[in-house]
Amino acid sequence: MHAIYYVIAFFTALILSNVVNKIFPKVPLPLIQIILGFGMGFIGAENVVRLNPEMFLALVVAPLLFRDGQEANVSSILKHWKLVGYLAFIVVFATVFSLGLTVHSLLPAIPLAACFAVGASLGPTDVIAVGSISSRLEFPKRVSNVLKGEGLINDASGIIAFQFAIAALTTGKFSLLDAGWAVAFSAVGGAVVGFLVAWIHKAVTSLLEEVDARDITGYLVIEIFLPFLAFFISEEIGVSGIIAAVVAGIMQASSFKQISLFDAQLDTVTNTIWNTITFALNAVVFVLLGIELQQVFLPTLESDVYSNVFLFVTIIVVTALLFVTRFLCLVLYYFVISRRRKQPFKRYMQDMLLTTFSGVKGTVSIATILLTPEYLGIDHFVERPLMMFVTAGVTLLSFIVGILVLPLLSETKQVSKNHLVEIAILDEVVAQLEEDAKNLRDKRAMEAAIDNYRLRIQDLIVDSESDTIKKDLQELRLMILQIEIEGLEEAYKKHEIDELSYTVYKRYTQEMERVIIHKFVSSINFLFVILKRMLYSILHQISDLRQGRGTEKKRNRLTHDERKAMRNVYLVNTERILTALENLEGIYDEQLINFLQAERIRQTELLHERAFIDRVIQRAIPNNTDEMMRGYYLERKLIYEYEDEGLLSKREAQNLRRNVNTLESYSLKENYSSLPYEFFDYLRHHGN
């Protein structure tokens, strides 16, 4: 297979992982990506998509940690600097020795120094892996800050420990004093390089400002280049490139902000670009991990040197020791703290357990162990496959343990949402817009603006409800969607509507599908409805080809009879939906049933008024800019009044104003395509 096909498959896996996660939100995204990567390994992806250790650290890990440094709350991390340093250095080296000795005792074929190299690769906690697991969980702030601080610097200590293990393997000598000095030199040297790179960046941007050569694209390119520059300079002079990237990120984000239009625009673009880069690189990390796992596991399991059962037991034992070592080190630390503060030791138990099981490993561990041949100066190292197997196995198992255990020790993030004040503001805006509409001859644009605000109010009302109500609402919407799809297919099979009418109605059902929030419905039920719709579509296309309808000239407008037929299908489906909802009274919340029934009846009334299509198009296409600007003006005015009266806090008012600014910017977008509106406007005025 050509290399380009593997690249396409690789990026398809990234996209597919996100889609699968949306359909099955309870399955962690990184685990999906690992599975897809493992599957890619079976089609030979490892021959093309290879993990070059140094390039991986430079092109993936460095920019991710640079961004973490930019977003890190340094002052909060510094409050826990003792524990952060303890985890990043003392615990890492304790892990190196405990795992190294254990691996050597279980697999004596691997030299002791090589076993220490395995321990060194498994010593540092992978900040990317931890972040992917904890993003859905509610950790105490102090624990989060400690883990972030540890993740920012412990890769450097782990890589340094690995280098010394390899040095001991090749020379047979090891000096603890030399190792300590090397760690200090590498960390301090990396920090100095990171500081200098950030200072140079500031000097360059200041020079560009002085010569009036400011450019958002140029500034963004320079910033994205910073982590790579810091990393490569550091590695060339023999200090920690990881520390350099982190410090460069912290220093770059610590500069004084200038309140200007240019800086505001730059900040908006920068955040958008970095969010995209971060998502892509995180996905690359776990897909590559899956590919490497497939490459490592199968050859080792097919070997006759050790039984497969023994190898899996070894992985379990080493993983258990990994967490036990971390826990015992934390017990020692918190025992001293509790004595010093004269507090009960059990008070720190949750912190110890969360910090212990957050010590999961990731692709950095595999990238580190892959450096073995390069540091040895040879291409073939007979024990390398076995070292890779142990490292990869422990990495995967530790990640799975973190996924399973951490949710038991913490709560899923629950964002408190009370939108009563915001709903009141939008209600007042609607009332004023309705008053304005009374004096207009053509009210369609203003009615579309009012509909827009009503939809926002509806979303806020639903968002304020409990998860139980949200779940029930989405399940009912899914039921309504299924009735719509089945009613449409039945009408088409009976030749009650033609091809063009079917296509238009199908687009309406697709819009209904987008409204459903997948995480609140059964993934199996949702997938069943979507697959059923896709199957109908495929069968429909096959039927068209067999009957020769695919070669007919396509019409671009509906006749009067076709519009009438579509209305009849909608009315029949409405009757079925209202009956189905009525039959569910007593099973679901009565107000929820009434809400959905009233909404369906309102849409049906609009259909009879022949205004339904007009209002939907006006809401979808910002062709009513003046009316929306009027609404945004009223919204800002009311936000200020509510804040002035003490009904809104300063932060709440800022968030609401930020939302209005975003909506207004979108509505004022000059290059927004008006082709859909013009097309349907043509159909409205020229249809028979």
pLDDT score at 216: 74
- Between CA 57 and CA 51 the distance in angstroms is 10
Structural domain ending residue among the three candidates 412, 427, 450: 412
Rounded to an integer, what distance in angstroms lies between the CA atom of residue 240 and that of residue 247?
11
**Same structural domain, 197 and 330:** yes
Query: pLDDT digit string (tens) for 270-317?
Result: 777 887 887 788 777 778 777 777 777 777 777 777 788 898 999 999
Q: Identify whether residues 349 and 210 lie together within a single domain.
A: yes
CATH number of the domain residue 145 falls in: 1.20.1530
Task: Judge whether 281 lies within some domain.
Answer: no
Q: Give pLDDT, residue 489.
A: 84
89 and 231 together in one domain: yes
CB-count exposure of residue 141 (10 Å: 0-12, 13-18, 19+): exposed
Average pLDDT over residues 165-179: 63
The verdict on 497 and 457 lying in the same domain is no
Q: 332-383, pLDDT tens digit by residue?
A: 999 999 988 888 888 899 899 999 999 888 767 777 776 665 444 444 455 7
Specify whether 512 is located in the same domain as 400.
Answer: no
CA angle 99, 101, 104 (to 5 degrees): 105
User: Are residues 475 and 459 part of one domain?
Assistant: no
Tell whether the model's pLDDT for residue 194 goes beyond 80: yes
Lowest mean pLDDT: which of 137-151, 287-301, 645-659?
A: 287-301
- Does 640 fall in a domain? yes
- Write down the mean pLDDT value for the chain: 77
What residues make up the domain containing 478?
Answer: 471-613
Instruction: Label residue 597 by pLDDT band (50, 70, 90).
Output: confident
DSSP string covering 509-573, please? HHHHHHHS-GGGS-HHHHHHHHHHHHHHHHHHHHHHHHTTGGGSPPP-S--HHHHHHHHHHHHHH
C-beta of residue 406 within 8 angstroms of C-beta of residue 137: yes
- pLDDT exceeds 70 at position 528: no
What does the pLDDT read at residue 173? Answer: 60
232 domain-assigned? yes
Same domain, 451 and 502: no
- Separation between Cα atoms, residue 426 and residue 420, nearest integer Å: 10
* pLDDT (0 to 100) of residue 26: 66
Is the same domain home to 570 and 638?
no
In a domain, 372, yes or no: yes
**Mean of pLDDT values over 73-78:** 74
Residue 372: count other Cβ atoms within 10 Å of its Cβ.
Answer: 24
Domain shared by 377 and 237, yes or no: yes
Residues 6 or more apart whose CB falls under 8 angstroms from that of 19 comprise none
> Is the four-CA dihedral 152, 154, 157, 163 of positive or negative sign?
negative
Q: Does residue 607 fall inside a structural domain?
A: yes
As for how many domains the chain has, the answer is 3
* Mean pLDDT on 556-582: 80
540 lies in a domain?
yes
> Closest Cα partner for 34 from 133, 100, 181, 101?
133
The answer as to whether 41 is a domain residue is no
Give the model's pLDDT for residue 264: 65
Element (H, E) at 399: helix 384-409
Residues 460 and 606 in one domain: no
Distance between CA atoms of residues 290 and 34, nearest Å: 4
What integer pLDDT is reported at residue 282 of this predicted model?
75
pLDDT tens profile 13-60: 878 887 777 667 667 777 788 888 888 877 776 666 666 667 777 888
Domain termination residue (choose one: 571, 587, 613): 613
Does 148 map to a domain?
yes
* The most confident of 64-78, 176-190, 416-430, by mean pLDDT: 416-430
Name which of 77-86, 291-300, 437-446, 641-650 the model is least confident about. 291-300
Instruction: Say yes or no: 590 and 512 in one domain.
Output: yes
Percent pLDDT > 90 in the chain is: 9
Residues 531 and 629 reside in one and the same domain: no
pTM over 0.85: no
Per-residue pLDDT, averaged over 225-253, amounts to 85
What gap in Å lies between CA 136 and CA 415, rounded to an integer? 11
Three-class SS state of 56: helix
Please identify, among 376, 393, 412, the residue that sits at the C-terminal boundary of a domain. Answer: 412
Give CA–CA dist 32/399, Å, rounded: 12
